[in-house]
A and B are shown apart, each in its own frame.
Chain A
């Protein structure tokens, strides 16, 4: 098999990729190095140019009131939130692309984002929620309820909830909820103002108070994502083959959906909808490491926080002295990448 021939969805086929084990390992190590560099950049660079020396001083216990505030209360929590949100989105994307066998699927396809957005709008309009830590719970609940609703719709009628039916149900429910959200916010301008900020997808003012409560949910999502990846490799060969290999197809599907909802739902709850990360990262990882789901999940774990952190760093310095929300930066980066993806002949087919 040559690199340009269509990819066969089998774990064994990965060996046909030009990269050997050593080259893959080298890429992983390089990704870890880039991730560390991105974290360092995210702590060093910001809208207030305090200089790397001062940052180092502050990290090691020195600095003045202002630098301590900037480093410890702004950049460090924000970097943690950015990394966690990136990991969650990237892995949710890796799961949903393999699950729907659609290389251009993103976590929002099951209605997660629109459910979260609708719940936040309801929270603002009917419950008077005004701060981010209040939004988190509405967004989480909205994402969970909507995904279960989508699953229920997809599972009714004859046959099991196939990925194609879930996708259609997700898109339909998402469209209805987006309309309802727009209706709510257009008739409540104050909610419109608040939603505008949330909708852009931002890491501003997201601290540990927002992150800590959702970490357990994210950890469950991550464990599930790694846990189901072998089963998903088998399922990529077809359901019958997977059953013959002893995989419980129905259970695997439910676990994947739970993982996607936990990961994408909480990421959206924390930062608002940040587009393109869940779409791009697993895709780029698939180019590099081939279709083995275990490697895709592992690669996404490293590459997606890099993308989110670097985008956030760019967002902090492009409109000084103000800042641009990270969701807008990822959209600027993501749109051209999406065009490249679509134009590529063998768009890392699944």
Chain B
């Protein structure tokens, strides 16, 4: 209906006025965009908007709305004494996990790009951590590291590396690094496969040409392969940043029973505000801050690294 109505109108206007015709084209596309837009509005913009609204309300611990709160919820965040440590943890968590994941994945992708006997099997092996549930993978490690009955702990004692079982998951710093290790492990498959797909789009003649011009393997990699991988690298990095930043389950399982805030990121802190402190409104405020942080990180990344530059 809309299309038949707009088409003659678009035709009757002056052709040269491009802005107008583009507008008309957008209107014509609307029926096709509609379902997607509706879905986005329903599952993304409405919940996010509702959360933003909540962050300016005063909610009782059971969710009853007691009227506007102005900026009180945000002020309470600033007064929270453990915030600097939590922010530092968040930076360590995101940067550490993403950098290590991308570096390892670059190597793995390069390896899997080579033809060798049994390559299909190795490729399959790398995809396994992706297929397993994150909570399951994490729980396996958590039990393995348990000081009383964990097999990893028992193994370390048996081979003589430890005198007695150590509470890897019972102290903030080792538990946090354990969680980072698991985060890298579960992020590798996606990153590796994204980079592998990128590698396979690089035609062989480009590499051959580089060799003909006398470039060694390292120079070929740095000057030819890496720049051509940039779009794949950008996708892998950005998705990983978002994913790792918002990751709750790994830290929840590994560090959930550790007292204090020394092993928390902003995302797990949101959870503690809701569950322990019963402050839905403060948690909403922190969620908004969380969203702004991830947005800023990605914009800075795009600005500084210019991953989409085509030259």
- Whether A and B are associated in the same complex: the answer reads no
Q: Which residues of A contact B (CB under 8 A)?
A: none
